[in-house]
Structures are given as structure tokens and as C-alpha cells.
Amino acid sequence: MKRRGTSAARVYARALFEVAREAGCVPAVRDDLAGIGALVRVSRELKVFLSDYTIPRTRRRTILEQAFRSQVQPLTWRMIRFLESRRRSGLLGVLDDSFAALCRNADGVKRVCVTTADPVDPAWLAALTTRLRQRVGGPVELEMAVKPSLMGGFTVQVEDVLTDWSVAGSLRASRWQIQGGKGAAYAGRS
């Protein structure tokens, strides 16, 4: 599910990534942003605060400083202050995803989302991971999800390409063909 502000977050993440790379602190900034993003996702109060610009600026700055300044890298703290000065601190909850994607891209790591109908055993998952590494030609970051509505089988999404080996996907393809479509036009399997 796409979160609000992701386009703007990508722009800020790109700028932060370039500066962090020059400063040699990309992993530390990535960890800072991951922690902040996780905190925003579990704390409704923080999420509301970051987006509520009716709170006076001096009060907001004081709260942000107390919450983050001693906890994060100086570069991360400068980004927090910059976003606050632009009234964009609400992006702190989504900046981590964009920054992590830039880190993966720089490291040649592909993000792969595997969705199964049922939980899978570790041996199957290890074999799938090995096959995925071979298929994409490098390291992968695997994200697992369970979605019973697949009815059986699984789907694999590598970046923006979805391959569907699920029962639900097969039924959709069959229904599409019966309704007059051509099988080759269905892009569910590759």
C-alpha cells in the first residue's frame, strides 16, 4: 500500500542519501531513519504531532530536539530540522522506505515480496531464496506475506514485476479467457 507523501519523500531521501554517501555515514543514517519510521508507525500521537502545524514552531522545535537530537546522527538531525523548517516533518514516517530503496539500489540488492496462501516452512523459503538470487542475478531482500485469499500457491514481486502462481490467479486467468480474452495476453505468469 502506498503511503502519503512518498513522492516528496523520494526527493528528500535522494538528497540525504547523496550527502550521507559523501560523509560516509549511509548505514548510520539508514538505521536512524528506520527507527524513526518504525516509531511513527506505532505511535499515533507522534504521527499526528509531526503533521500538526497548528502547534507553535518554537514548541515543535523543542519537542523534536528533545525526542531526536541526541538519538540520531548529526546529519539525520539536520534533515529533521530542515524538514521541520519546510513544514514537511510529516514525511519522517515515510522517508525511511525511500532511503532504504536507495541503499538497496546502491548495493545491487533487489527487493522481493513473496506472498503465500499459508505460512511456509524454512526449507521451502531457503530454496526459493536461492532460486530468486539466481533469477535476479544478485542478492535479494525478501519480504514475506501471508494472504489466504490466494487459496494456494504464491506470488513473487521483484520490484515492479509480479509473477502469480496462485490458485486465485489461475482462476482469474481462466475467467478472463472464458470471457473472450486470449491466454497470451494475460501477464499473470512469466
| Confidence (pTM) | 0.73
Distances (CA, A) of 131 to 60, 107, 114, 118, 136: 49, 19, 13, 20, 9
Q: Which three cell numbers stand for residue 141?
A: 531482500
- With the C-alpha atoms ordered 84, 87, 90, 94, is the resulting torsion angle positive or negative? negative
Kindly report, residue by residue over 98-122, the tens digit of the pLDDT.
Answer: 999 999 999 999 989 999 999 999 9
Instruction: Report the pLDDT value the prediction gives residue 190, as an integer from 0 to 100.
Output: 46
For residues 132 and 139, give the distance between their C-alpha atoms in angstroms, rounded to a whole number.
9
> Is the CB of residue 158 less than 8 Å from the CB of residue 187?
no
- Of the pLDDT bands very low, low, confident and very high (cuts 50, 70, 90), residue 1 is very low
Average pLDDT on 180-184 reads 61
The domain made up of 6-104 has a fold known as Peroxidase; domain 1 (1.10.520)
Nearest to 111 by CA among 149, 171, 157: 157
Q: Are strands 140-146 and 110-116 parallel, antiparallel or unpaired?
A: parallel
